[in-house]
Structure 1
Amino acid sequence: MRARQYPGESSNTPSVAESLHISEHTLRNHLASIYDKLAVRNRIELYVFC
């Protein structure tokens, strides 16, 4: 999973969104959906979960 590498490497939303060629808003929406599905609250918990 390509997106999985980003939470541990950088928590800078603009640079992650740019590298994925999506808007910051889209990235935040995707992260919110992932957080809900995995029952985590932030990128640190997501990184630990992964």
Structure 2
Amino acid sequence: MTNDEILAFWFGTPDDPASRKPRQAWFTKNPAFDEEVRSDSSVVCWHRLEKRSLT
């Protein structure tokens, strides 16, 4: 997962009109979204970020 993919997940892509605006998913209980955040790729990404090896 790249920096751009992480930003796109949380904030949308630059060409998206809703980009960088609060998303309802952030404030609504949703087990599927919560699981996506906790997914293996997110955990791996977090560990890479901690080690400063994210590209």
Q: TM-score range by the shorter chain?
A: 0.3 to 0.5
TM-score normalized with structure 2 length: 0.34
Specify which structure has the higher proportion of helix.
Answer: 1
Give the TM-score normalised by structure 1.
0.36
Higher normalized contact order (CA 8 Å, seq sep 6+, divided by chain length):
1
